[in-house]
Amino acid sequence: MLKTESRIEDYRLADEASCKGKLLSDVKNDYLTYLVGGKNCSPETIRSYRTKIGYLEEYLIRKFNGPVYLDDITFRDLDSFIIDMSANRGWKPNSVKQCHYTLRTFFSYCQRKELIIKNIADQMEPVKGEKKERGHLSKAEFDKLESAIEHPLVKKVVITLFYSGMRITECLNMTIGDVDLNKGTIKVREAKNKAFREIPLHQRLKELLEEHLSDADLQDPLVRKKRLFATSKSGKISAVYVNQIIRGAKEAANLPDKVTAHTLRHSFATRLIKKNCNLVYVQKLLGHADLRTTSIYTHAKMDDLVGSVDLL
């Protein structure tokens, strides 16, 4: 009798589990696989999504005291998750805003796959992020940073970033064949939004690349497929290593603010804006899909505002 009751209970639990649909952990793994293969997202983006969805999973396992099924999650669970992260991890408004975006895109994927009826993240309370100006370097500050970098290959990467505005992954994925010294351009193929673009070479950058490629057979197809910036040992160089060298150089140059490879992209954009370059041109050079993203670089310091008032 007891064995029969136990077997019935096992069947009941199994049937209940099958009705609940998929586990959050399984859907999370499917989604991350989709980001790699279907969306061709960068490792940094995938790491960010894995971390944030992982935090949600950990929180809900504690809350439900057991496995988390996708269709058991409500928008109230998402709201309480955000409150918990803000309290226990000290998330600021910008971090919360980024998490909102992650959850919306994840549950939108679930909805498209017909795993849920509606995107519950759309019901979450919107959060306004803190509007901060992007950190950037003046030309004088960049010169100090450049002088403090002793690694010759990283120095070339840093100069390329400052004079081209490329993302670090775009720069490090460039091949020798992407450089056209005759035309004076570099091709960006592996962009964040998959959009191909060409960037004209600044004279300083053209001279640097001419020297860098002086010994290369630019007509050899095999040579043209090689990475533009690569160590002889590995055939490539990592973004993590470049940023590590930049951090050390920043300290050596005694620069006040945080400096990363992405700061050099911000510096490129900011310098163009300050020289009154058309915002649409800056958008094209940066490879932004939306002009509103580019408008972030329209910094307004008090000196600029005073100068504007003096025009009256």
117 plus 184 within the same structural domain: no
> pLDDT tens digits, residue range 263-303?
999 999 889 888 888 888 888 888 887 777 777 777 655 55
Task: Please tell me what DSSP assigns to residue 218.
Answer: T
- 308/136: higher pLDDT: 136
Q: Which CATH number do you get for residue 70?
A: 1.10.150.130
Residue 121, CB-side half-sphere exposure with 13 Å CA sphere: 22
154 plus 284 within the same structural domain: yes
101 plus 151 within the same structural domain: no
On whether the pTM is more than 0.95, the answer is no
272 plus 143 within the same structural domain: yes
- 4/185: higher pLDDT: 185
Question: What mean pLDDT is reported for the chain?
Answer: 84
Instruction: Mark out the alpha helices in the chain (DSSP H runs).
Output: 2-19, 24-37, 43-64, 75-88, 93-112, 139-148, 152-164, 168-173, 203-212, 221-224, 239-252, 261-274, 279-286, 291-294, 302-310
The mean-pLDDT minimum among 142-151, 158-167, 255-264 falls in 255-264
For residues 99-112, give the mean pLDDT.
Answer: 93
- Is 5 a domain residue? no
184 plus 42 within the same structural domain: no
**For residues 179 and 164, is the Cβ–Cβ distance under 8 A?**
no
- Is 237 a domain residue? yes
For residues 18-38, give the mean pLDDT.
Answer: 84
Number of domains present in the structure of the chain: 2
pLDDT band of residue 92 (cuts 50, 70, 90) is confident
Find the domain containing 266 and state its range: 139-303
208 plus 299 within the same structural domain: yes
pLDDT band of residue 15 (cuts 50, 70, 90) is very low
- Is 197 a domain residue? yes
Q: Which CATH number do you get for residue 220?
A: 1.10.443.10
pLDDT band of residue 180 (cuts 50, 70, 90) is very high
